[in-house]
């Protein structure tokens, strides 16, 4: 059986740091499998470029196989994002996870993972939330971790702790944190560069192998999503109190929309001291698309791209059996009732993305994986 290293990622879009990570992941001879977010991301935003173009860019930069982390895990906070990603990685047979990190301190991250899964951590977080009223969740998390002697360097370290925690739960035994490259633009900065200057401005900052894939990509205008969220909060949540009766965040979003003249004003009001803009957007996204049952793991993944080696990995996986890897809607026959319900959510998220990108209904269901 071939050794597999997994990289859980968004690649929105790909930059030289991503390429370095992918090359390093495969440097020992392992096949590199990316478990990549689909059309929505952790920040509650639609991906700038469509998932097939981003998957092709990953294969061009060192991945062998790209599988989708389906909705809603792709658009979740660190805990559920990591849980879903690790479930797919383990489901394809990965024995190792490679991930970016501010510190690349494996011992500290392993200690943090153990702390994060403890009852004592839960208790201290509960106490801190009571005593530090008005504090953001990230600040509270950092203070509680510090009380255990754990000092993550940033969001990637926090995510790395979750990867280790859930990777072990699903049977992954090896973890490789890689210090983030300095001097390269982040994916967020790249999105801003593209929106300001288009592909000509973006191309010099990309991993250069990726440019051909992204030049052919379907691009999602962020303002289209902002308009959908504003209309949903004002016309649906604001008009139907029953739709958000048990959700304080949605009630708050409806009030913000009702006192805002346009999407920009609405989104400016959304963040609070306790809840970030990302958290509020994720809550609204779930209201638009729907959400799965709490605590579920993905029952399927979708093939987005592969090279020859990746196809060999996939063939080995199919001979062994395990997590279904879907290519087209007809492949859903092995799914149980829970899997079919999850697949319906996946399709709905893709339909929202089709609407945002000006495509006809069902457009993303007709797309096939990119074979390099």
The answer to whether residue 342 scores a pLDDT higher than 90 is yes
Domain presence at residue 160 = no
pLDDT per position as a tens digit, 73-98: 999 999 999 999 999 999 999 999 99
The answer to whether residue 18 scores a pLDDT higher than 80 is yes
Q: Strand 301-306 vs strand 4-9: parallel, antiparallel, or unpaired?
A: unpaired
pLDDT in the model for residue 266: 97
Domain presence at residue 169 = no
Mean pLDDT, rounded, for 320-340:
94
Chain Cα centroid distance, residue 269? 25
| Residue 134: band (very low, low, confident or very high) from pLDDT cuts 50, 70, 90 | low
Helices 155-169 and 106-116: angle between axes, nearest 10 degrees: 70
Domain presence at residue 205 = yes
**Which of 245, 252, 85, 247 has its CA nearest to residue 175?**
85
Percent of the chain with pLDDT over 70: 98
The answer to whether residue 167 scores a pLDDT higher than 70 is yes
Whether residues 229 and 339 share a domain: the answer is: no
Chain Cα centroid distance, residue 62? 19
pLDDT in the model for residue 288: 95
Q: What is the DSSP string of 123-183?
A: HHHHHHHHHSTT--HHHHHHHHHHHTT----SHHHHHHHHHHHHHHHTT--EEEEEEPPSS
**Which of 368, 350, 347 has its CA nearest to residue 359?**
350
pLDDT in the model for residue 244: 78
Mean pLDDT, rounded, for 344-372:
96
pLDDT per position as a tens digit, 123-132: 999 998 888 7
Whether residues 270 and 357 share a domain: the answer is: no
Question: Model pTM greater than 0.85?
Answer: yes
Whether residues 228 and 87 share a domain: the answer is: no
pLDDT in the model for residue 135: 64
The answer to whether residue 133 scores a pLDDT higher than 90 is no
Taking the C-alpha atoms of residue 353 and residue 342, their distance in angstroms, rounded to an integer, is 17
Percent of the chain with pLDDT over 90: 85
- Domain boundary residue among 268, 289, 310? 289
Domain containing residue 22: CATH number: 3.40.50
Whether residues 246 and 361 share a domain: the answer is: no
Residues 6 or more apart whose CB falls under 8 angstroms from that of 116 comprise 161, 162, 165
Taking the C-alpha atoms of residue 113 and residue 150, their distance in angstroms, rounded to an integer, is 10
Range of the domain at 63: 4-103+178-220+293-371
Whether residues 229 and 343 share a domain: the answer is: no
pLDDT per position as a tens digit, 255-298: 999 999 999 999 999 998 888 999 999 999 999 999 877 789 99
Report the first-to-last Cα separation within the chain, whole angstroms.
23
3-state secondary structure of 61: coil
Domain presence at residue 112 = no
Residue 307 structure tokens: 């090279």
Q: What is the mean pLDDT of the chain?
A: 94
> For the chain, how many structural domains are there in total?
2
**Which of 370, 229, 298, 304 has its CA nearest to residue 87?**
298
């Amino acid at each position: 059986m071939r050794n597999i290293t997994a990289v859980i990622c968004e690649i929105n879009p790909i930059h030289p740091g991503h390429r370095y990570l992918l090359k390093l992941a495969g440097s020992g001879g392992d096949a590199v499998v990316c478990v990549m977010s689909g059309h929505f991301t952790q920040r509650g935003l639609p991906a700038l470029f469509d998932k097939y173009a981003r998957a092709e860019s990953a294969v061009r930069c060192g991945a062998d196989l790209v599988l989708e982390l389906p909705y809603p895990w792709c658009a979740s906070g660190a805990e559920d994002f990591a849980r879903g990603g690790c479930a797919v990685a383990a489901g394809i047979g990965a024995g190792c996870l490679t991930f970016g990190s501010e510190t690349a301190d494996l011992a500290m991250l392993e200690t943090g993972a153990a702390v994060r899964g403890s009852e004592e951590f839960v208790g201290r977080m509960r106490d801190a939330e009571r005593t530090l009223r008005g504090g953001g969740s990230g600040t509270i998390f950092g203070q509680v971790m510090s009380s255990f002697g754990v000092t993550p360097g940033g969001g990637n370290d926090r995510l790395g702790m979750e990867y280790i925690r859930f990777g072990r739960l699903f049977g992954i035994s090896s973890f490789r944190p890689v210090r983030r490259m300095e001097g390269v633009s982040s994916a967020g900065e790249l999105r801003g560069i593209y929106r300001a200057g288009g592909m000509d401005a973006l191309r010099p900052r990309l991993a250069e192998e990726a440019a051909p894939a992204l030049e052919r990509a379907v691009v999602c205008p962020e303002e289209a999503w902002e308009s959908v969220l504003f209309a949903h909060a004002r016309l649906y949540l604001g008009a139907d109190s029953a739709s958000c009766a048990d959700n304080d965040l949605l009630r708050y979003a409806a009030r913000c929309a009702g006192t805002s003249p346009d999407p920009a004003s609405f989104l400016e009001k959304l963040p609070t001291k306790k809840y970030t803009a990302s958290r509020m957007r994720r809550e609204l996204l779930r209201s638009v698309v729907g959400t799965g049952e709490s605590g579920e793991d993905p029952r399927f993944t979708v093939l987005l791209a592969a090279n020859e080696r990746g196809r060999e990995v996939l063939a080995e996986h199919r001979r062994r059996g395990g997590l279904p890897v879907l290519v087209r809607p007809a492949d859903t026959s092995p799914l149980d009732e829970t899997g079919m319900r999850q697949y319906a959510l996946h399709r709905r998220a893709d339909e929202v993305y089709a609407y945002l990108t000006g495509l006809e209904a069902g457009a993303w269901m007709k797309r096939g994986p990119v074979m390099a």
